[in-house]
């Protein structure tokens, strides 16, 4: 994996640009490591803070003054340098996103104005359109110096800024900035910063010099522009209100007279007063121009809007789909993420998909404990090696596939039906080996001991590998935040989080191998070991049944047929290996026939294990999740519960059985008018992957409760649910809406 990262870094510095849009999409996974090293950072001055840097954006606060005088008004600016294809948001972010915000801490008598917003551009993110900025963004703010300041004093400026930076995924970021400017008798400008801020101010939208008129024209809006220059081209109107137009709708220029811009009305159209305002951008003589424009709303339009009697009323699409700020994982430090990963790995040992493997490892220790303490310790270290290697492979796959544009997360490999079927075959073979159907070796020092005859060493190593593989369908508490943090970081940081998870996961087995006191409590080897060995075959069979069911959910009946053929072929190959032992010709014939069977069964499995559409909810009272559906339900005043799940997620299935399918939960949803949406991630779905990333998560389960109020932020529920917990969250969501409704006129 280090070789891959070095190659990507070298390619970037050599100027090699990824050709596929998907490959350009998730540069933080690998290529942005090189970008963060080579990205130009403004030269620091006395009136500039240290930069806050991420793989996506470098942010600084600059001041046009090195020294100020009492009562002076001057400008500072937040400067953001964005990596290619990433963007931040304007004051009205469009269909999704959040604008950059600055909170100031200033001495008494000082003041800070509002951000002077540059003209935005339309950024399509199919099927939405956002309003924001790419490249370098300068956001000026006016600062006033206290009148009673005296030369020799200082003016401390402290700002905490938050911004959402997006490409195909969105990452919330923040930074704290502090400048201390001396108060002097004569103002002292900082030439470089003043030049940059003056250039930004000069590029701000200019007052239009004329007023427009907004009226209804059929089911569209007509924005008359009587003072527009005749040679204007490529017009676009960016309203300050997010409930005026459909941001992704077509804007058509009608030359007039008077010239007008035809706009698609928002599905949640609303007028605040009798006028609208916004920014109009256009081309004139090949030059880009931007004007701040106010327009009077036609009285008939205002009356119709207030009465809800506009032609074609009824939302064709939600007005705004706000991207919620991640609740879990986004604000972690590296040390916190490592601690969460370690704790999550430790708890992962208690998940039902992992316990059978660990029991069998303990069974192996029971045989070696009374024979050789050194051998037992060696077994524990080999198990640790298998766990570490497998987690590093998983981390490399997540990072590499993310760099290639794939939407991946924890348990992503189980979204591939052929891999699910292959794992089911492995479980069946292990089960028959344990029950005595065939033998690869007589020792039970480890579950994987039958894979080699090297005194159990390879078996111990492979037990660690297998334990990780069967653990991936489960998500333990603390893991969600840690994984959500990892997938937004540079590869080296992400890898360190995976290693912390591996160490926590391997700790119980390694501790047992190094604890002589605990090992002496185990009974001496005897017949009980054979009975236990055979008994542990049945959890393997149960796991195989569950995996075949997962394949059935993913692919339908054809997937079940493919899985059964694969099991039959594997059994035949095992039998064939046993009966062709002996002479060289017999072994060659057996190997050739086995290869043909494996290739044929593999072709049949891949051909039939084709994912089917699983986006439809299986219950009549559960709807399929989409962001648009969430926004539409909120606009109707309905609380919304969203369950992001997958058939291969054991934790998800346990929560559905224990909490979500309970009658008292269903009754509370019906009583409170809760709409239940399910996002099924059994097969790959980039929209669900993006929704998980927006909440700081890399895998399922994820449970969100949205209050029935437009743009209200969701409540994130824990990964392990109880009925009381879900009912209480439903009441909070409904209660918030009730209180909000009570305050409306």
Q: Residue 670, Cβ neighbours under 10 Å: how many?
A: 10
Contact 137, 88 (CB under 8 A): yes
List helix spans (H) across 524-583: 527-535, 537-555, 557-579
pLDDT of residue 708: 81
Give the model confidence (pLDDT) of 326-376 as tens digits.
333 445 677 887 888 888 888 877 765 566 666 666 666 666 655 567 777
> Residue 302: which pLDDT band, with cuts at 50, 70 and 90?
low
- For residue 603, being part of any structural domain is answered with no
Give the model confidence (pLDDT) of 677-724 as tens digits.
998 877 667 788 778 877 777 677 889 999 887 777 888 888 778 888
500 Cβ contact partners less than 8 Å away, ≥ 6 residues apart:
337, 338, 339, 341, 342, 345, 482
Q: Are residues 727 and 632 part of one domain?
A: yes
> Residue 319: which pLDDT band, with cuts at 50, 70 and 90?
very low
496 Cβ contact partners less than 8 Å away, ≥ 6 residues apart:
334, 338
Q: How many whole angstroms separate alpha carbon 392 and alpha carbon 400? A: 12
Give the model confidence (pLDDT) of 444-480 as tens digits.
333 333 433 334 677 778 878 877 876 766 665 666 6
Residue that terminates a domain, selected from 478, 508, 536: 536
- For residue 393, being part of any structural domain is answered with yes
Q: Residue 672, Cβ neighbours under 10 Å: how many?
A: 19
- For residue 580, being part of any structural domain is answered with no
> How far is CA 191 from each of CA 44, 47, 139, 508, rounded to the nearest angstrom?
13, 10, 18, 62
pLDDT of residue 15: 39
State the residue range of the domain holding 94: 44-203
Contact 513, 381 (CB under 8 A): yes
Q: What are phi and psi of 606, to 5 degrees?
A: -65, -40
Q: Please, which residues bridge with residue 715 across strands? A: 705
pLDDT of residue 352: 56
Q: Are residues 181 and 48 part of one domain?
A: yes
Residue 80: CATH number of its domain? 2.60.40.1250
Is the pLDDT confidence value at 222 over 50? yes
Q: How many whole angstroms separate alpha carbon 433 and alpha carbon 534? A: 9
pTM score: 0.45
- What's the chain's length in residues? 745
Q: How many whole angstroms separate alpha carbon 519 and alpha carbon 509? A: 11
> Residue 570: which pLDDT band, with cuts at 50, 70 and 90?
confident
- For residue 677, being part of any structural domain is answered with yes
Q: Are residues 220 and 196 part of one domain?
A: no
CA 445 to chain centre: 41
Token duo for residue 322: 């706000």
Mean pLDDT for the stretch of residues 262-272: 80
DSSP annotation of 745 reads -
702 Cβ contact partners less than 8 Å away, ≥ 6 residues apart:
480, 642, 644, 691, 692, 695, 716
Q: Are residues 362 and 224 part of one domain?
A: no
Q: Residue 39, Cβ neighbours under 10 Å: how many?
A: 17
Q: Are strands 206-207 and 287-297 parallel, antiparallel or unpaired?
A: parallel
Q: Of the candidates 685, 140, 110, which has an alpha carbon nearest to the alpha carbon of residue 406? A: 685
- For residue 634, being part of any structural domain is answered with yes
192 Cβ contact partners less than 8 Å away, ≥ 6 residues apart:
43, 45
> How far is CA 106 from each of CA 74, 155, 190, 208, rounded to the nearest angstrom?
14, 8, 21, 34
pLDDT of residue 106: 93
- For residue 57, being part of any structural domain is answered with yes
- For residue 374, being part of any structural domain is answered with yes
Is the pLDDT confidence value at 150 over 80? yes
Give the model confidence (pLDDT) of 718-733 as tens digits.
877 888 889 989 988 8
Q: Are residues 220 and 197 part of one domain?
A: no
List for the chain the helix, strand, coil content (%; round to 5).
Answer: 45, 20, 35
- For residue 218, being part of any structural domain is answered with yes
Give the model confidence (pLDDT) of 382-441 as tens digits.
888 888 888 888 777 776 665 554 445 555 555 667 777 777 787 787 777 777 766 544
Q: How many whole angstroms separate alpha carbon 311 and alpha carbon 216? A: 9
613 Cβ contact partners less than 8 Å away, ≥ 6 residues apart:
none
Q: Are residues 252 and 177 part of one domain?
A: no
Q: How many whole angstroms separate alpha carbon 464 and alpha carbon 448? A: 9
Q: Among 121-135, 163-177, 435-449, where is mean pLDDT lowest?
A: 435-449
Q: Are residues 272 and 198 part of one domain?
A: no
Q: Are residues 301 and 356 part of one domain?
A: no
Number of domains in the chain: 4
Q: Are residues 699 and 627 part of one domain?
A: yes
Q: Of the candidates 390, 654, 401, which has an alpha carbon nearest to the alpha carbon of residue 501? A: 390
Contact 47, 110 (CB under 8 A): no
């Amino acid at each position: 994996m280090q070789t891959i990262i070095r190659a990507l870094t070298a390619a970037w510095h050599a100027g090699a640009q990824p050709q596929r849009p998907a490959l350009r999409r998730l540069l933080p996974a690998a290529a942005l490591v090189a970008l963060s090293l080579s990205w130009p950072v403004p030269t620091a001055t006395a009136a500039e803070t240290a930069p806050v840097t991420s793989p996506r954006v470098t942010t600084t606060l600059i001041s046009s003054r090195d020294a100020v005088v009492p009562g002076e008004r001057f400008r500072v600016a937040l400067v953001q340098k964005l990596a290619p294809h990433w963007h931040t948001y304007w004051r009205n972010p469009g269909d999704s996103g959040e604008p950059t915000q600055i909170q100031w801490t200033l001495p008494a008598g000082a003041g800070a104005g509002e951000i002077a917003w540059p003209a935005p551009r339309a950024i399509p993110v199919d099927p939405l359109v956002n309003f924001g900025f790419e490249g370098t963004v300068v956001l000026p703010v006016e600062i006033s110096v206290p009148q009673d300041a005296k030369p020799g004093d200082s003016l401390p400026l402290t700002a905490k800024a938050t911004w959402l930076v997006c490409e195909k995924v969105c990452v919330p970021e923040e930074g704290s900035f502090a400048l201390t400017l001396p108060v002097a008798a004569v103002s002292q400008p900082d030439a470089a910063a003043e030049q940059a801020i003056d250039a930004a101010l000069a590029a701000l939208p200019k007052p239009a010099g004329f007023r427009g008129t907004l009226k209804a024209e059929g089911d569209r809006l007509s924005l008359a522009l009587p003072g527009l220059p005749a040679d204007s081209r490529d017009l676009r109107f960016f309203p300050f209100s997010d409930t005026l137009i459909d941001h992704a709708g077509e804007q058509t220029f009608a030359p007039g007279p008077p010239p007008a811009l035809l706009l698609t009305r928002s599905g949640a159209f609303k007028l605040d007063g009798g006028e609208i305002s916004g920014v109009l951008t256009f081309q004139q003589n090949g030059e880009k121009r931007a004007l701040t424009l106010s327009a009077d709303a036609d009285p008939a339009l205002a009356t119709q809007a207030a009465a809800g009697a506009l032609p074609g009323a009824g939302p064709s699409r939600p007005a705004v789909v706000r991207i919620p700020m991640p609740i879990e994982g986004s604000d972690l430090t590296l040390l916190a993420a490592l601690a969460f990963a370690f704790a999550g790995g430790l708890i992962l040992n208690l998940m039902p998909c992992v316990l059978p493997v660990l029991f069998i490892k303990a069974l192996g220790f029971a045989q070696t404990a009374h024979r050789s303490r050194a051998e037992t310790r060696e077994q524990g270290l080999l198990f640790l090696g298998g766990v570490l290697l497998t987690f590093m492979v998983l981390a490399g796959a997540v990072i590499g596939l993310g760099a290639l544009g794939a939407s991946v997360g924890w348990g992503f490999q189980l979204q591939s039906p052929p891999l699910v079927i292959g794992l089911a075959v492995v479980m069946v073979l292990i089960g028959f080996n344990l029950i005595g159907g065939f033998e690869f070796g007589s020792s039970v020092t480890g579950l994987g001991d039958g894979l080699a005859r090297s005194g159990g060493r390879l078996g111990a190593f492979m037990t660690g590998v297998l334990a990780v593989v069967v653990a991936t369908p489960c998500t333990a508490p603390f893991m969600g935040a840690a994984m959500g943090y990892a997938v937004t970081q540079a590869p080296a940081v992400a890898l360190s989080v995976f290693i912390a998870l591996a160490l926590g996961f391997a700790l119980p087995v390694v501790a047992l191998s190094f604890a002589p006191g605990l090992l002496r409590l185990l009974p001496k080897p005897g017949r009980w070991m054979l009975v236990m060995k055979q008994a542990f075959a049945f959890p393997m069979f149960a796991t195989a049944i569950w995996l075949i069911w997962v394949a059935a959910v993913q692919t339908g009946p054809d997937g079940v047929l493919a899985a059964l053929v694969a099991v039959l072929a594997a059994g035949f190959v095992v039998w064939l290996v046993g009966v062709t032992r002996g002479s060289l010709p017999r072994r060659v014939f057996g190997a050739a026939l086995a290869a043909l069977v494996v290739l044929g069964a593999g072709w049949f499995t891949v051909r039939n294990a084709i994912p089917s559409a699983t986006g439809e909810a299986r219950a009549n009272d559960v709807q399929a999740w989409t962001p648009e559906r969430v926004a539409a339900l909120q606009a109707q005043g309905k609380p919304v519960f969203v369950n992001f799940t997958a058939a291969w997620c054991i934790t998800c299935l346990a929560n559905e059985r224990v909490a979500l399918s309970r009658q008292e939960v269903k009754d509370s949803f019906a009583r409170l008018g809760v709409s239940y949406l399910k996002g099924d991630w059994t097969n790959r779905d980039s929209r669900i992957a993006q929704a998980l990333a927006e909440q700081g998560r890399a895998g399922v389960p994820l449970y969100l409760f949205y209050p029935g109020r437009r743009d209200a932020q969701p409540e994130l529920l824990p990964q392990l649910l109880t009925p009381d917990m879900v009912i209480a969250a439903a009441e909070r969501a409904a209660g918030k809406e009730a209180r909000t409704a009570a305050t409306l006129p």
